[in-house]
Amino acid sequence: MTTRPGPARWVAPLRRGGVGVAALVVACALWELYKLVGPDTGAHLFGASVLPRADARSMPHVWDVVARMATPESSAAGSPSVGVAMLQACWFTLRVSVAGWLAGVVGGFALAVLMHGSRIAESAVYPWVVLSQTVPLIALAPLVVGWGGKIHLGDLVWERWMSVALIASYLAFFPVAVGALRGLQSPQQAHVELFRAQAASPWRTFRSLRLPASVPYVLPALRLGAATAVVGAVVAEVSTGTKGGIGRLIIAYAQAASGDPAKPWAAIVAAGALGLVAAGLVTLLGLGLGRYRIAEVS
């Protein structure tokens, strides 16, 4: 008889959420503590800065950043508040990140299946999967935009956001490929031999043994992939000049940092919160796989 997952499946996510809130409170307290005792000019060692500045221009108070979100973005009539502008920008970036994450998940899992199916493929592909993450996004973004502008498939028009999504998928596929490969290789040899003794086909072994066994490895990889997809999207928005996202908003607000230091920090906080939201959404998707998460690997 199959046991249905009860309310206990919510315990772990709620516990992680509580730990996250506690970590946020601690981070804010440390920020204010350093601002209280840290030097206004920072600290330097042999000409190199080793401690950041603690003056009001470099490190505004936490409550000033929160209050700035409720005030108008500019002095122009009808200007939305900073909070509203950030929500609109985050919504744009989230949608692009989801598109990139989905592409990264499909590509990463396909690579994992390929590497698992052949030792030669694993030896040939895995080093390139690792090396791919050493290429700076700032150098990659202009190339992707240039390649995208040369794509002509019928009525398809390559939009700038598609380049951003492609760059986001570039970061997202790596943890998925590595996590899925570890998961597909995780079943014990005794279980594999049992399926062979029952004359199970490779597809049945994959579907009934290896795929369920990979869930505890894949779910953390999906969460990490969601967070890295947001990072990739934000960096790509800055590098490609894509408007409408939180990346460009950070650059626009940074121009007012000298006279309004809380404004750029509000956008930075929003970008960080967006990554947490993306990872949290993946966690909610994983609740339906609770019976496979007994030994989830972090």
Confidence category of residue 291, pLDDT binned at 50, 70, 90: low
221-241 tens-digit pLDDT: 999 999 999 999 998 888 887
pLDDT at 132 over 90: no
Q: Calculate what percentage of the chain has a pLDDT beyond 70.
A: 90
pLDDT for res 2? 44
Ordered by where they begin, the domains of the chain are 20-35+53-68 (no CATH), 83-292 (1.10.3720.10)
SS (H, E, C) the chain: CCCCCCHHHHHHHHHHHHHHHHHHHHHHHHHHHHHHHCCCCCEEECCEEEECCCCCCCCCCHHHHHHHCCCECCCCCCCCEHHHHHHHHHHHHHHHHHHHHHHHHHHHHHHHHHHHHCHHHHHHHHHHHHHHHHCCHHHHHHHHHHHHHCCCECCECCCHHHHHHHHHHHHHHHHHHHHHHHHHCCCCHHHHHHHHHCCCCHHHHHHHHHHHHHHHHHHHHHHHHHHHHHHHHHHHHHHHCCCCCHHHHHHHHHCCCCCCCHHHHHHHHHHHHHHHHHHHHHHHHHHHHHHHCCCCCC
241-255 tens-digit pLDDT: 788 889 888 888 888
Q: Calculate what percentage of the chain has a pLDDT beyond 90.
A: 19
